[in-house]
Amino acid sequence: MSPASRRRARQPPDSSSLFRHRLSPPCQTNRGAMASSRLLPLLLCAGALSSLLCCHGAAEAPGFVTVSAASFKPGSTCRDPDPATPTPHRNGTSAVLRLTHRHGPCAPSRASSLAAAPSVADTLRADERRAEYILRKVSGASAQQLLGSKSAAATVPANWGYNIGTLNYVVTASLGTPGVSQTLEVDTGSDLSWVQCKPCAAPTCYAQKDPLFDPTQSSSYAAVACGGSACSALGLYASGCSSAQCGYVVSYGDGSNTTGVYSSDTLALTSTNSVHGFLFGCGHAQSGHFTGIDGLLALGRLQQSLVGQTSSTYGGVFSYCLPTKPSTTGYLTLGGGFTGGFSTTQLLTSPSAPTYYIVMLTGISVGGEELSVPASAFAGGTVVDTGTVVTRLPPSAYAALRSAFRAGMAAYGYPSAPANGILDTCYNFSGYDAVTLPNVALTFSGGATVTLGADGILSFGCLAFAASGSDSGMAILGNVQQRSFEVRIDGASVGFKPSSC
């Protein structure tokens, strides 16, 4: 997936040193910008000398951001983490795991070497299936049903990576005794973790680079017995019993599924943070769109998830920072307290879909101006989902956003590009050294405002938003809009802290 353009964290671009359209004559005024009463003039300059001579004083319109066009490129070399980015450790309050893009240069070689990155078309089709599944699951909840719900910590580095219908980021943890490294996609929209286990021969198990997890080689492994409390608590994930062992099954929004033996073993998140008796699915039959990964690490709200199982240790609190590019890294943290810099909003619950983390979106602004969208359009709530790529908005909200964004971009004369699947507002930036975008900000209940960087506005060269099913229905905050923010979730609130990875 080609990442969106990215604004440098903590160091906003200097418009006086960024070259504009390299094909334009020196100091030519963009008439479209001047014609708009909302925008200041944008000066177009050719080359470094012209930029220094005549564009040093070029003004950038309030509510707009200019970024280098080179930031659209994903990069082929893994960059060292930012000094502010946590590394795997335990400091008495948290444990951190490294989070990376699955197909990028920072990903574990075993996760990226087996399968090529999916095409843009495949990614968007899978994203549409996942979004439709989530919206169907929560469609029974009204605004009145969205009710607020009511330490130590562990941080795991996290990488950007994508798989059809599930989360696009992976972490590496160790399972069993002795521990065996497992590359796992992390998913805030599911509750049951699993890995592929022996015995499992193709086609019942998909190809993965690592050897399958062999439970017979782990001294701490145990199958969950039928009739026990853990088996009884599986609920919709239960799949009968075989040889007195508890069976499980998980089906995903794209039609993929996994089934096998519900099991327990030691999960080592870092060298000093282990979860003993961790409950997971030992998968003996998988089908659908899995490839390369060893399994999935579930971070949903139910007790079966990693968050639920470790609540006595980490307080049911976790945070993550999704990297903006495959060439950079982020992190997943279990536990820890709030630090400064977060904008927070109330966490809500849907009785019809208790797995999901839900907040209330209340407004959107483009270029510093709030859109005119009726409050009723947002009444269904918004799912915070790391597995959905582009944000889904109620149709009236999306139409207002698209109209305002197109108007802002038209002032700069960028040529349009054909629609790309569900993305219908696309641009061709070939030949541009820098790109100026109208800022997009999302406001949530309680006044929390998330101002997106360029990486949260564009993806695949297109506006990274799409329409959901209907006004007053659920919206989904996708991972494009979450990238570079630390997103912290506890039992009562969701917080957003910018420029965190």
Residues involved in catalysis: 187, 385
Q: Which of 14, 66, 7 is nearest to 412 (CA)?
A: 66
- The three-class DSSP label of residue 267 is strand
DSSP letter for each residue of 110-156: HHHSSSPPPPHHHHHHHHHHHHHHHHHHHTT--GGG-EE----EEEE
**Is there a contact between 195 and 295 (Cβ–Cβ < 8 Å)?**
yes
CA distance 323 to 101: 8
Residue 453: CB partners within 8 Å, gap ≥ 6?
6, 7, 65, 324, 484, 498, 499
Burial 60-77 (b: 16+ CB within 10 A, else e): bbebbbbbbbebbebbee
Six-digit token string for 69: 């066009």
State the burial class of residue 174 (Cβ atoms within 10 Å of its Cβ: 0-12, 13-18, 19+).
middle
Between CA 107 and CA 114, with CA 108 as vertex, the angle to 5 degrees is 95
Q: Are 171 and 297 in contact (CB under 8 A)?
A: yes
Coil, helix or strand at residue 241: strand
DSSP string of 204-215?
A: SS--BSSPPB-G
CA–CA gap between residue 206 and residue 202 (Å, rounded) = 6
Length of the chain: 501
Quick check: 112 and 324 in contact, CB under 8 A?
no
H/E run at residue 487 = strand 486-489
